[in-house]
Amino acid sequence: MPNREKSEVRVGLTYDLASDYRLTGASEEDIAEFDREDTIEGIEQSLRAMGHRTERIGGIRNLAAQLVAGRRWDLVFNIAEGYHGAARESQVPALLDAYQIPYTFSDPLVLAIALHKGHAKTIVRAAGVRTADYRLITCLDDLEKVDLSIPLFAKPVAEGTSKGISANSVINDHGQLRAVTGDLLSRYKQPVLIESYLPGREFTVGVLGTGRRARALGSLEIGMVGDADVGVYTYRNKKEFVGKVEYHWVNAANDPVVASVEIVAISAWRALGCRDAGRVDVRLDDAGSPCFIEVNPLAGLNPEISDLAILVRETGFGYQALIEGIVEEALTRRSITDLCDR
């Protein structure tokens, strides 16, 4: 990254707070992807430690109102997940693009593709990245076209935080496939992704950087313990992670499997055009080969409990350095003209 004389930057923060939506009567599952107050506080404290001025904006309605009123910022630190639509994560950055205001993390096109797990898998596979075979189901009649061998895995195509994933998501017969698919189509009103089940170790890889600058910060291996749902990172396991989920930092320098996992993660990150920082989930198939599962270009940033924060804490990189790296990437993008550096 180029050296830049440090100067104060006016940083707006866009986000969706779970507590705000809870007051409207939204269910806990509806708001599962939204942030806690201490997440915003953690980001804000890190930005102020860098010498920047911060201003809380909130969600897209507040952002739109402030833009119309003439408010502007040097940079927006955007972690807004959005509430409605298949491209909900794209809404805030699209509005910021319209007003030509720089922001952190990926652009609207990348966020829309990444949220749709089927489209993301299509692109990474075209780029030569290994991923499980899959079919997209828009209605029950589409099940006639599923020619994949049991066991299979079923999940909504455009949800986060493992919403729609349960112990029943591992499909062991065609009757179960029809029942689970029908339930997901009815509940989530979106296509269902059917994949060949990957039975091996599961990892989440932290990534910092954009394009050729992107690098793995490290990897966590995810294991289920206690009374957790076995063999899958379900919504229940993720929501009630204490006593159900263990995160182990695994070192690519000591484990060739982890090294190959991180190669898959970085290859997928670059193929999709993700920016600044995030996570890539990878799982081993029955032959022990790493396969791309999905990418999270708006990864959780709670300083204590988010996977990415746990990872940088375990590796010694640190939360403050993570936030500084994200901001530096965004500010670098604002000034460069060489497309090869992006």
Q: What is the pLDDT of residue 336?
A: 52
Task: Round to whole Å and give the CA distance between 249 and 262.
Answer: 13
Per-residue pLDDT tens for 169-202?
999 999 999 999 999 999 999 999 999 999 999 9
Per-residue pLDDT tens for 42-91?
999 999 999 999 999 999 999 999 999 999 999 999 999 999 888 999 99
The model's confidence at residue 4, banded by pLDDT at 50, 70 and 90, is very low
Asked if 225 contacts 243 with a C-beta cutoff of 8 angstroms, the reply is yes
User: Which of 101, 78, 86 is closest to 136 using CA atoms?
Assistant: 86
Per-residue pLDDT tens for 208-252?
999 999 999 999 999 998 888 888 888 888 788 888 889 999 999
- Indicate whether 6 pLDDT > 60: no
The model's confidence at residue 15, banded by pLDDT at 50, 70 and 90, is very high
Q: What is the pLDDT of residue 335?
A: 62
Asked if 110 contacts 90 with a C-beta cutoff of 8 angstroms, the reply is no
Helix (H) or strand (E) holding 248: strand 245-250
Give 103's DSSP letter: B
Please count the CA atoms within 13 angstroms of the CA of 280 that sit on its side-chain side: 34
Domains of the chain by start residue, with CATH = 10-104 (3.40.50.20), 133-196 (3.30.1490.20), 202-341 (3.30.470.20)
- Indicate whether 330 pLDDT > 90: yes
Asked if 310 contacts 316 with a C-beta cutoff of 8 angstroms, the reply is no
Task: Report how far apart, in Å, the C-alpha atoms of 302 and of each of 8, 55, 72, 73, 153 are.
Answer: 24, 18, 26, 23, 29
Q: What is the pLDDT of residue 162?
A: 87
- Indicate whether 339 pLDDT > 50: no
